[in-house]
């Protein structure tokens, strides 16, 4: 998927999360959630030199690309799990970061993996420990992706 479709998918997942799991919260918590949703939605593509995440942090992108190819470990379940555990047991505990902010990141990252899993190239969710691949029929940047984007925007507007 392209970056803008990943962002739309993350917003869709975020809206659904708020609808079903979150009651009232402050404006600033919503801003923090949204910011981390965006970071999570774009971070997996840090392993691709042309991505938005790589342009925002070229040094981190170069570091990640030195040990991972595109849709390698950054597109596995291990990275969000590791980041979640570090954030939950260090950042949240010692800096009193609300769990909602962490959930924004996790939902964004998960939505990215789900989006790439339905493309023809797919993802290897257990990389590097398994070569099992999940893939769909959608071509990245193709007509189907455009239609998915339009449907997400329509849902959000009507919602």
pLDDT of residue 69: 83
Tell me the three state secondary structure of residue 124: coil
Q: Is residue 29 part of a domain?
A: no
φ/ψ (deg, to 5) at 118: -95, 5
How high is the mean pLDDT of the chain?
91
DSSP character at residue 88: I
Residue 152 above 90 pLDDT?
Answer: yes
| pLDDT class of 44 with cuts at 50, 70, 90 | very high
- pLDDT value of residue 116: 96
Alpha-carbon span 122 to 86, nearest angstrom: 27
Report residue 78 as tokens: 């291990």
Q: How confident is the model at residue 34 (pLDDT cuts 50, 70, 90)?
A: very high
Q: Are 9 and 78 in contact (CB under 8 A)?
A: no
- Residue at 25 is within a domain: no
In a domain, 77, yes or no: yes
* Number of independent structural domains in the chain: 1
**pLDDT for the residue numbered 94:** 82
> Does residue 35 sit within a domain?
no
Whole-structure pTM value: 0.90
Locate 64 and state its tokens: 């990640």
In this structure, is residue 28 part of a structural domain? no
Q: Is 105 inside any structural domain?
A: yes
Query: What pLDDT band is residue 52 in, cutting at 50, 70 and 90?
Result: confident
Summarize pLDDT for 122-147 with one digit per residue, the tens.
999 998 899 999 999 999 999 999 99
CA 136: distance to chain centroid? 18
Least Cα distance to 145 among 123, 109, 120 occurs for 120
* pLDDT confidence of residue 89: 84
Would you say residue 150 lies in a domain?
yes
Q: Do the domain assignments include residue 71?
A: yes
Q: For residue 82, give its domain range.
A: 3-20+41-158
77: nearest Cα among 125, 130, 116, 118: 125
């Amino acid at each position: 998927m392209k970056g803008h479709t990943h962002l739309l998918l993350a917003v869709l997942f975020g809206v659904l999360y708020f609808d079903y799991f979150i009651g009232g919260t402050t404006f600033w918590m919503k801003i923090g959630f949204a910011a981390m949703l965006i970071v999570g939605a774009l971070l997996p593509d840090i392993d691709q030199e042309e991505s938005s995440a790589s342009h925002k942090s070229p040094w981190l992108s170069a570091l990640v690309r030195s040990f991972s190819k595109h849709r390698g470990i950054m597109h596995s379940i291990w990275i969000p799990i590791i980041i979640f555990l570090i954030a939950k047991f260090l950042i949240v505990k010692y800096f009193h970061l609300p769990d909602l902010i962490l959930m924004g990141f996790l939902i964004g990252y998960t939505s990215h993996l789900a989006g790439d899993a339905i493309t023809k190239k797919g993802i290897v969710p257990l990389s590097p420990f398994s070569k099992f691949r999940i893939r769909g029929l959608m071509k990245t940047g193709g007509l189907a992706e455009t239609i998915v984007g339009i449907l997400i925007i329509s849902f959000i507007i009507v919602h």
